[in-house]
């Protein structure tokens, strides 16, 4: 099976030895996105809502570069530094996805790169 690297300048460049996403067959595996502004690479300032919106915008850009959209995402992994932010992240996610919602996990972690409060990865299936 061939692999295709997905890259867009509409999402932040990887900050390590990884790709924004990799397509294998009709499945696209997204690396975790943190709330970095694509043009500057700077962490988005603001509350968890602002950070979550930036992450979903970044994921949407990568999905588009792969030939899909957020509606094609079948699984989302959310990592937060404070589970107290769970409801706020849920509210933002509801603005970006429509039923049937993707499968999801939400995990509290001790820390994230660059001091981010949220990181999200995903799996997308293209038809």
- CATH of residue 92's domain is 3.30.1330.40
Q: Bridge partners of 30?
A: 21, 122
- pLDDT at residue 107 above 80? yes
pLDDT score of 1: 73
Number of domains in the chain: 1
Full residue range of the structural domain in which residue 39 is found: 3-125
Burial of 48-79, coded b for 16+ CB within 10 Å and e otherwise, reads beebbbbbbbbbbbbbebbebebebbeebbbb
% pLDDT > 90, the chain: 97
pLDDT score of 77: 98
pLDDT score of 63: 98
**64 or 2: whose pLDDT is higher?**
64
Average pLDDT along the chain:
97
Question: What pLDDT, in 10s, does the model give residues 22-43?
Answer: 999 999 999 999 999 999 999 9
pLDDT score of 41: 95
CA-nearest of 95, 126, 90, 92 to 105 is 90
pTM above 0.95, yes or no: yes
CA-nearest of 2, 6, 9, 1 to 68 is 6
Q: Which region, left, alpha or beta, applies to residue 101 given φ > 0 means left and ψ of -120 to 50 means alpha?
A: beta
């Amino acid at each position: 099976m061939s692999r295709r690297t997905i890259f867009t300048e509409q999402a932040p460049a990887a900050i390590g030895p990884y790709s924004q996403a990799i397509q294998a067959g009709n499945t696209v595996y997204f690396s975790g996105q943190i709330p970095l502004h694509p043009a500057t690479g700077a962490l988005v300032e603001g509350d968890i809502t602002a950070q979550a919106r930036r992450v979903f915008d970044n994921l949407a850009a990568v999905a588009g570069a792969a030939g899909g959209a957020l509606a094609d995402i079948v699984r989302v992994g959310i990592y937060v530094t404070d589970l107290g932010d769970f409801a706020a992240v849920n509210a933002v996610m509801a603005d970006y996805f429509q039923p049937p919602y993707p499968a999801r996990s939400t995990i509290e972690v001790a820390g994230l790169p660059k001091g981010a409060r949220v990181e999200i990865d995903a799996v997308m299936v293209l038809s």
